[in-house]
Structures are given as C-alpha cells and as structure tokens.
Amino acid sequence: MLALRLTRGSQPAVQLRRLLVSAASAGTGFLLLCTLGYAMGHPDSPAAAALRLGWCATPLAATVYFAMAVARTDPATRPRPGLSAIGLGPARLMAISATTTALACTLGSMLALLFFLHLRGDLTGMPFDGAAAEFLASDQPLPLPAALTLLALVPVTASVAVVLALRPRDLRPASEKGPARSYGRFGVQGRPDRRETFGAYGRFGAHLRAGARGGEQEPEQPAQAEQLEGADVTASDPSRPPAPREAPRGLPWGIAVLAAGLAVEAYASRAKDGGGLSLPGGLADGPASVLAGWVLTAIGLALAGPGLTHLCGRLLQSVGPGALRLLAGRVLMEESTRIGRPLGVVCAVASGGFAMTALYDADAPAFGPLTTLGLLLVTGCTVATLLTAALEAKHARAETTAALLRLGAPATMLRSAAALRAGALLALFLPLTLFVAELAALPLAGR
C-alpha cells in the first residue's frame, strides 16, 4: 500500500518515466508472446523458435537496464534524514523501489497480453481484431502457464536488478569496520546513531543537551562513531573538503574485452565450417561465433565508458585551461561513472545498428514488424537510460550550480560548460562508435 501511495503522489515527470518503463515492458512482453505464438504455429522447427527467443534477450536486457535507471532517480524512495525514525530505513526503501518497479513492469506485461489476445482474435470489440491470427496460431489454445511465465520475466528480472543495485552498502573504510552489532535505535556498541537528524534525537535534541549547558559535560564520542554505515564524512565536518574521486578502474578491462570481441569476430570471418547464424530482418548469415564477438564488444564498450568519460574530462583540463574548461572537465570527471556506463551502452547499440545497416541486403525483404519493434525497444531504452542518467547527474550537482550562481557566475557560462561537455563526449565516442561498427561488420561483409 505504501508503494502504491508513493506512486500515486509522485510528480508528473516521475510518472512519465514510470509509464515509459511500462511501455518498454509491454513491448518486450509482446515480443516474448509472439515467440510463443511462432513456436505454437511451427512445432516442427524448435530450433528457429529457440533462436527467436534468444533474440528477445537483448530487448529484455535493455528494458531491465532502463528500469534500474528510473528506480535510481525516483525521489520517493530516496533516503532522507529522519525516515529511519518511522521505520523507513535503506532496506525498506529498497523494497519499496523494487515493488514500484514490479508494478510498472507488471502493468506493461498485462497490456502486452491484452494486445496479443486481441491480435489473435480471442478478444473482440476493437479495431484489427484477429489481424495476426494466422501468424499467432489462433487455431490452437493458448497455454496460459507458458504465457504467464514469459510475461513474468520482465517484472521479476527488473525487481531483482533493482534490489541488487539499491541494496544498502557499508561505506565505512575497511580499517574501521568492526563487528556488526546494532541495538535498535542506537549505533554500534550502544552509541547513539548520528545518521539521523530527524527523530527523537534530532527534533528533541535540546533537552538531551540541557545537561551539558547546566555544567554537565557531554561525553566525547570516538572518531569512528562519525563514520557509521551510510554516513558522510563531509556531513559531520562541513569544513572538510570532499576527497577527490578516483578514476574508474574499468578502462583496462573494457579495452581487453573489446579487443577480445573484435578478435573473436576476426576469427569467425575466417571460419568456413562454423554453425549458421540467422540474423533477424533479412540480414546476412554467418557463423554463430559472430554473436559471441558482438556480445563481448558491447560488454567492453560498457565497461570502458566510465574510464573514457573520465579521460575526456581530464583532457579538457589540459594545456592551460580556463574557468570554462576547468568547470566542464571537473564535472565530467565527477560524473564519469554515472554517465559513462549508459554512454558506453549507447555506443555499443549504435555500433551494432551501423553494422546491421552495412550488412543489410537490398534484395532482401524489408524489416518485419517484430524486428522493427525490437530495434525501437533497444534504441529507445538505451537512449532513455542515458537521458535519465544525465538528469540524475544534474540533480546531484544542483547545490554546486546554485552556489556558482550565488557567487556571480553567469548562467551563460553554465550552459557553455554543458555544451562543451556534450561536444567533447561526442568528439570522443562518435569516431569510436564508427570504428567499432566497421570492425564488427567485417566478418559478415563478404558473405
């Protein structure tokens, strides 16, 4: 009930993002159900049905990734001071976020089921009744357990991914982590938990400190008490500057995985006896190892994205930078992890799209509706995830932006810094995308 009330009371922008998650879930669920319909209509070709089901893994992954990004930016489930006093700690907020994601995905899955039954002709009273009856095997009864199992893939996978992404973490240094002992509303070893500023101690802290004013000195707490689980060091000492963010460590691994993917594709181009791979939409066929090379290439770009973004911010600040380049570079370095990974995924999807366009045979039939729907789902979810991450980064540095405006920085300078960041990322990732696309299309170009 709390998740439903939080969902109903959210802002229109938050509701729009949840509706987009529902739309993506509906599209993915419809693709899965169409795979079931194809398997029912072609019982003599289980390999082709299994291959169609395997191609649905890409829209499923894109939808789950978008649902995770929306859950991270949901303001209703963001931890705030004082929520633990009413029983809404990090674990409870994580559960509410997972429930909200499951509700949005379940709504999309139900819409997909209704549309699927409508195209089969099982539901009447709307336009296009039974328009795809022959393709979806309307002459056979629909196996309801199989359909519900396929429809449950998106809500269950998205909820589990949100739980893993938003699970509470212990942010204390390793040297200060002792035995996990907690006593209700008191912190480790019975000391008051300083994480909360709203609750019994925060709202009524005056009478708790009355003894200190009357001559009774308040006992000093050890330094470790200020760095409890989830606590921020700068919050306890505002005069202390935050520690500089380290560079992402995934760049070498990303380059290694990317090189491995390109090597697998190059080996597949020389293999003459490999298993056949039927690409959707009338594209060229080739060895099955090409798919493994494309997957490794996409993973490598996603891993290398944060490191490349951090490197781009460092390059902006090189060779005698001014205030504009310093501001743009520092923001890129600070937000490299948040923006770099979705940007790497978009780069991987774009390179795959360019490679498919290069491999498209003009004499082959045009893309079918299911192939078009799958491409739109993957592209739309990845781009929407990148925009959601950019919005999250903007909200994260809202206090910094307000401080710059109070100090007299012109608004045009902030807009110029944003344009400079976008131009620098485009100058780095666009040639990389074209280069990877050309190398990915080489194995199948001569087939």
Instruction: Give the model's pLDDT for residue 23.
Output: 94
Nearest to residue 333, comparing CAs of 248, 403, 254?
248
- Share in percent of the chain as helix, strand, coil (round to 5): 70, 5, 30
- 41-50 contacts at long range (C-beta below 8 A, 24 or more positions apart): 41/134, 41/135, 41/136, 41/137, 41/140, 48/278
Rounded Cα gap, residues 295 and 415, in angstroms? 37
Rounded Cα gap, residues 300 and 298, in angstroms? 5
Q: How many residues does the chain have?
A: 447
Rounded Cα gap, residues 299 and 301, in angstroms? 5
Report residue 373 as tokens: 């729907």
Per-residue pLDDT of the chain (447 residues; tens, 9 = 90+): 555 666 665 677 888 898 999 999 999 999 999 888 888 888 888 888 888 888 889 999 999 999 999 988 877 666 666 666 666 667 787 888 888 899 999 999 999 999 888 887 766 655 555 556 566 767 788 888 899 999 999 999 999 999 998 887 655 555 555 554 444 434 444 444 444 333 333 434 444 444 444 444 444 444 443 343 444 444 445 445 455 567 788 888 999 999 898 888 777 666 554 455 555 554 545 556 777 888 888 899 999 999 999 999 899 888 888 888 888 888 889 888 889 999 999 999 998 888 777 666 555 556 678 888 888 999 999 999 999 998 888 888 888 888 888 888 888 888 999 999 999 999 999 999 998 888 877 766 655
Half-sphere exposure of 284 (CA within 13 A, CB side): 20
Instruction: Give the model's pLDDT for residue 9.
Output: 59
70 and 108 Cβ atoms separated by less than 8 Å: no
208 and 240 Cβ atoms separated by less than 8 Å: no
DSSP string, 255-297: HHHHHHHHHHHHHHHH-SSPPEE--TTSBPPEETHHHHHHHHH
Q: Which residues contact 40 (CB under 8 A, 6 or more apart)?
A: 136, 137, 140, 142, 143
429 and 343 Cβ atoms separated by less than 8 Å: yes
Instruction: Give the model's pLDDT for residue 182.
Output: 43
Locate all alpha helices (DSSP H) within 185-230, ordered by sequence. Answer: 200-203, 205-208, 210-213
Report residue 9 as tokens: 């009371």
Mean pLDDT of the residues in the chain: 76
126 and 32 Cβ atoms separated by less than 8 Å: no
DSSP string, 136-149: TTTTS---HHHHHH
Instruction: Give the model's pLDDT for residue 269.
Output: 63
pTM of the complete model: 0.77
The enclosing H or E element of 182 equals strand 182-183
